[in-house]
Amino acid sequence: MKISKRQLKRIIREEKQRLLREANPDGTISADEEDQEEELMMEIEMQLDNMIQYVKDQAQQIGGGFRAPGLKARVFKLMADKIHGAR
């Protein structure tokens, strides 16, 4: 079944209006959105802490005391570039 541009725009407009009617006064959609966000933030923070520790351990194992700082810096720059690129 084909949908014309006009029909698609109408469907999108109706869906947007429906979502706006269902939204809570504070702008959230679901009742537990704040809890889910907090859970996500905690999980990501734990994973980042684990990743940072992994980088430190591996850099030390690979480069020892002399080369580890440079290796860590390069890996952390790569991580930062990936994060900034994901925006």
- Return the residue matching tokens 């959609």: 29
Question: What contacts 23, CB < 8 A, 6 or more positions away?
Answer: 29
Q: What is the residue range of 67's domain?
A: 5-85
Query: Is the CB of residue 60 less than 8 Å from the CB of residue 68?
Result: yes
Task: Tell me 47's DSSP state.
Answer: H
Q: Is the pTM of this model over 0.85?
A: no
How many domains, in total, are found in the chain? 1
Amino acid identity of residue 39, one-letter, is E
d(CA 4, CA 59): 57
Q: What pLDDT digit, counting tens, does each position of 7-24 carry?
A: 878 888 888 877 777 777
pLDDT in tens, 22-81: 777 666 667 777 788 889 999 999 999 999 999 999 999 999 999 999 999 999 999 999
How confident is the model at residue 29, as a pLDDT? 66
